[in-house]
Structure formats: structure tokens, C-alpha cells
Amino acid sequence: MGCNANKVLVEKYVCPNSPSTLSIERVAEAYLPTEWGDFHIAGYRSLTSTEEFVVLYKGELRPDVPSLVRIHSQCLTGDAFGSMKCDCGPQLHRTMEMIEEEGRGAVVYQQQEGRGIGIINKIRAYALQDQGADTVEANERLDLPVDSRDYRQCAEVLFDLGLCKVKVISNNPGKLKALEEAGMEIVERVSLEVESFAPAARYLRTKKEKMGHLLELNSL
């Protein structure tokens, strides 16, 4: 690359580690100015399930330039309603700000609410938490998996955008491992510590102690 700049500009970048056929396809794309920056938004469909993915991205994304990325798992209560039970909303918005500041990057929004259990079960789990259970205990009591998320297709979305080397904004070792296993080169892990509210303290401690999240939690 680079020796023929004009050709490169019109070529779609492909990461050499990308699977030759992807199990997702881009079906729609538009421009999306937001409170946290100006992005492109694209919609993807899984070719193997009914799952859909949304990605917000900006800047020139190419395999040779390490770019900020995040796989953000949908959290209706935190992302849209400003729930104080978790830190998802502030994490999403901080990520968008960081990508805006950097001028390039992507957030894959994975629509697996409540770590894959769905919004109704998540509300049921919240009810158990109201009675004293922590996040993990609540799911166990409902006989639901603590985490059933699969990130393989999120990695494919990043490959489709032309990415190869990534600086991953995440505290979740599971997401880092999944991206690595999918063939993404993780150049850096960018930790994300956002201010959390008192009701989120127990949730975050459970994330750190029972789910292996890489959190400092100095303020808690």
C-alpha cells in the first residue's frame, strides 16, 4: 500500500486476518451528528441468525492504522433511561467523545440486552436485586446464563469497516479475548473509568470480583 495512493483511495481496505467470507452484511448507512460528535451510522444483519448490529464510526478506517474501537453491549436502562444501576450510558458516551477527539474509530453496538438475557429477564433480575441479590446471583436464581454474549460477529463488523489493528476501549477481558481470537490485532487496551453513581457501586464491585472486569474502583 502507499505506492499507488490514487488506487488505494478507491479500494476497500481488507485486513489480511479477516475471514474471507463474513457472516454479517452491511445493509444501511447514514450520517449521524450527535451530542458527542459527528459519526456515520451503519446497520448490519447477521446472515446466520436474526441478530442485527449497529456501528457508529468516523474517520478513515484502515488496516495499518491502529484505531479506537469498542464493542458496546446494549443496555436500554443505562444507555437510554440514564439508569444509575450501572455505568453503561456514561461508558458509551465517553467512548463516543474519545473517538470524536481522536478523529477516527468505531463503536459496535451489540443488541444483546442484559448480557444476552433480554430486557424482560433483565427487569426480573433487577427485581431480585431489589431484594438483595447481586448481578450474578440474580441471573443464577432465574436460571439464566450470567453472560451469553458472543462477540465473533462484532469482530466481523470491524473487519468489514477495514480495521485490523485496534485500540480497544474496554474493561472486559472476554471482549478482548474474543477480538483477539477473531484475528484482530490488539495494539492497546484503553481503560474506561467513568464516574459512577452510588447505586452502581455494588454492580461494579460484582463485575470486578465475580466477572473479572479490569476496574480500579478507587472511588468506590
Of 62, 94, 149, 160, the catalytic one is 149
Catalytic, 149? Answer yes
Rounded least distance, CB 151 to Zn ion, Å: 17
Under 8 Å between Cβ of 167 and 187: yes
Of 147, 150, 152, 160, the catalytic one is 147
Tell me the window of 37-45, 82-90, 111-119, 205-213 that interacts with Zn ion (CB under 5 A).
82-90
Catalytic, 147? Answer yes
For 90-110, give one letter per residue: b (16+ CB within 10 A) or e: bbbbbbbebbbeeebbbbbbb
Residue 24, C-beta contacts closer than 8 angstroms, at least 6 positions apart: 44, 45, 46, 47, 53, 153, 156, 157, 160
- Applying CB under 5 A, among 75, 154, 164, 178 the residue interacting with Zn ion is 75
Give the nearer residue to Zn ion in terms of CB position, either 45 or 208: 208
What whole-number distance in Å separates Cα of residue 205 and Cα of residue 215? 9
Note whether 86 binds Zn ion by CB under 5 A: yes
DSSP state letters, 73-127: E--IIIIIT--SS-SHHHHHHHHHHHHHHHT-EEEEEE--HHHHT-HHHHHHHHH
Tell me the window of 75-83, 121-129, 138-146, 167-175 that interacts with Zn ion (CB under 5 A).
75-83
- Applying CB under 5 A, among 68, 71, 88, 166 the residue interacting with Zn ion is 88
Tell me the window of 23-31, 77-85, 145-153, 162-170 that interacts with Zn ion (CB under 5 A).
77-85
Note whether 90 binds Zn ion by CB under 5 A: no
Give the nearer residue to Zn ion in terms of CB position, either 37 or 78: 78
Note whether 117 binds Zn ion by CB under 5 A: no
Give the nearer residue to Zn ion in terms of CB position, either 88 or 158: 88
Residue 115, C-beta contacts closer than 8 angstroms, at least 6 positions apart: 73, 139, 145, 146, 147, 148, 149
Residue 11 dihedral angles phi and psi, to the nearest 5°: -80, 145
Tell me the window of 43-51, 69-77, 195-203, 209-217 that interacts with Zn ion (CB under 5 A).
69-77
Task: Please identify every residue annotated as catalytic.
Answer: 147, 149
